[in-house]
Structure 1
Amino acid sequence: MSKHDRKLDLAARAAWMYYVAGETQQDIAEKLGVSRQVAQRLVALASEQGLVSVTVNHAVAECMTLAQQLQEKFGLRLCQVVPSAGVESAGLQQMIAVAGAEVMAQMLKNERPQIVAVGSGRTLRATIGELPELDRPQHSCVSLIGAIASDGSCTRYDVPLWMAEKTQGRYFILPAPLYADSAQDRELWCNHRIYRTVTEKAAQADVMFVGIGQVAPGCPLNADGFISDAEVDALLADRVAAEMIGHFISEKGERAASELDSRLTSVPLTPHSQRNIIAFAGGSEKQRAIAAVLRGGWISGLVTDEASARFALAQAG
């Protein structure tokens, strides 16, 4: 790589951090190991060289390499990796959301009617939030996960509604709670005519957009009251690392059986399928989960960060 290309790479990193993650120039200087004046010049250079419009148009070479390695190692059809050196939490989620929205938009711009199945998760919700308004009333948005709380209200897991509002398309909600009160109660929900109609539509989806959840004390499912502290401990004892629309996945990438399975109402998932399943996830707290999902062949596409990409590749040997 030439000196000019290395400088553009550094400018692109600075642009991601400044324009997308919301870092200050002092923050960028400290994290890139340069002076504040150099950080200021790098941000200016990114603008002068046309690297920045609404998004950063120059991909960091190291991130492109990691994306290619992930595609080759795990058989992905699509992969985007955003720079994450020194960036965490909300800033990193925002970077993944911006990159992920570009991936989504490319697929949703299709004039042919599309069935878009949507899961749940904070990163997925943030990604949809970054989508531009798209006039695609011919598309259908289908929920992969029940978003009804025990009192009948809708929960924050009702992410597909956001997608339907962005596309102006029809929205098909999965009429069930994430976990039924009992196995018998699950049978009642899942045998309802509308439930069967929606899950059949989800099975025909052209693309599925999902989040990847970690399993740990205080994880979203635990914090939101869907699984208890004792259930989290039991899952961790069985070396469960990840969760996708309520399905638990072990560190080895295998489907992990759980007492919760008998009450789960989500659309079924299987590894190594031919379905177009694109996940959006990143951050240090999700690295084990992302690595497990990749190892098990549960997804065909991924938008993540460089630290998570390196972790997954290292775990794969």
Structure 2
Amino acid sequence: MLVEAPKTREGREEASLAARAAWLYFSSGMTQADVAKRLGISSLKAHRLIARASRDGLVRIFVDAEVSECLELEDRLVERFKLDFCRVCPDLDENADLPLRALSLGGASFLKNEIERAEYDLIGIGYGRTLASAVAALPQVPAAEMRFVSVLGGFTRRFAANPYDVIHKLAERTGAEAFLIPLPTFANTAEDKQVLLNQPGIDGVFAMACSARLVLAGIGDVSRENFFYGTGLIGDAELELLAEAGAVGELLGHFFDAGGEVVATEFSRRALSPDIEQLRNAKVVALAGGAKKAAALGALLRSGILNGLIVDEATAVKLAGETGI
């Protein structure tokens, strides 16, 4: 007898996670502990999901070519780029330039799992439209013992694009404490950055952002569609300088060339965000995708800074084969 698909968003996400757990356990021969580690969930939840799959017939219904293809892509990306974690979100017939719905569901699922696992009591949060959509898709998940902190200054000319909205929504969804860096994204000079950080009440929040052991962030490309350009934080002259330096990807105000090397380091020195070495000491998970982000994602994956990736299926295919990147 076929089982009716869950009608609520949370029910669909749980069914999808059960399908992944079932495929790994029954098809790949992983132990329940292996499944838990792979999916970033507790061993108890892995056991419950596998039991549900067996009880409700999810193995027969959901473990099909589409799911297994996504999991195989995850394996390839983990191996190619030495990642600890990868989640490939099945395509939902969206705009290839920005598959927002698929990515938002994948990001929300990741956040929910991390909150429930409670391995990290402090999570750093980046900015951007995709990350904002993931937080909007997050159900109410109690996390009173957890803290969230913005890992990038975010005063912009347009309030609607302000990344502070992300941290506010997280606090509303979880009941957790949420902290902001009340500074611009870039200081005018490295010296001005130090002056800003020396202001009372600022240094503590910034130190918290730099100490986050788990960071979820978006990835930017280097074009007029970049978040910084669209909000007036960089202009045409600076965009030209970045292009001349060979920059193709951006993470929290740091720019990278196609080989994954940090370039245009003047921007890094002025960015109100954790520095490169601090990011290397954290678990950094990128939430990004779409055809226009493929080159930027390739650059960041080659940098070695990313420990995890949440990406749409079509972009994952490009990254796994490195075609056109």
**When the two structures are superposed, what TM-score results if normalisation uses the length of structure 2?**
0.74
What's the counterpart of residue 314 of structure 1? 321
SS at match of 2:207: helix
Residue of structure 1 aligned with 2:140, choices 133, 137, 142: 133
5+ long unaligned stretches in structure 2: 6-11, 14-55
Q: Superposition pairs for residues 2-151 of structure 1, below 5 Å?
A: 60-84=67-91, 87-88=94-95, 92-111=99-118, 114-149=121-156
How many Å separate the matches in 2 of 1:263 and 1:101?
Answer: 31
- Number of matched pairs: 269
Are 1:189 and 2:196 an aligned pair?
A: yes
Q: Which amino acid in 2 is paired with 1:247?
A: H
Are 1:156 and 2:162 an aligned pair?
A: yes
The 8 Å contact of residues 147 and 157 in structure 1, kept in 2 or not, is answered as yes
How many Å separate the matches in 1 of 2:84 and 2:316?
Answer: 15
SS at match of 1:293: helix
Q: Tell me how far 1:113 sits from its aligned partner.
A: 6.6
5+ long unaligned stretches in structure 1: 1-11, 13-18, 21-47
How many Å separate the matches in 1 of 2:160 and 2:155?
Answer: 5
The 8 Å contact of residues 117 and 209 in structure 1, kept in 2 or not, is answered as yes
What's the counterpart of residue 305 of structure 2? 298
How many Å separate the matches in 2 of 1:192 and 1:142?
Answer: 18
Higher fraction of helix: 2
What's the counterpart of residue 24 of structure 2? none
The 8 Å contact of residues 80 and 303 in structure 1, kept in 2 or not, is answered as yes
- Relative to 1, partners in 2 of residues 1:272 and 1:131: Cα closer, same or farther, differing over 3 Å? closer
The 8 Å contact of residues 64 and 81 in structure 1, kept in 2 or not, is answered as yes
SS at match of 2:163: coil
How many Å separate the matches in 2 of 1:131 and 1:91?
Answer: 19
Q: Which amino acid in 2 is paired with 1:301?
A: G
What's the counterpart of residue 179 of structure 2? 172
Q: Tell me how far 1:180 sits from its aligned partner.
A: 1.8
Q: Tell me how far 1:179 sits from its aligned partner.
A: 1.3
How many Å separate the matches in 2 of 1:279 and 1:218?
Answer: 18
Q: Which amino acid in 1 is paired with 2:206?
A: T
Q: Once superposed, what is the RMSD of the aligned Cα atoms?
A: 3.1
Q: Tell me how far 1:193 sits from its aligned partner.
A: 4.2
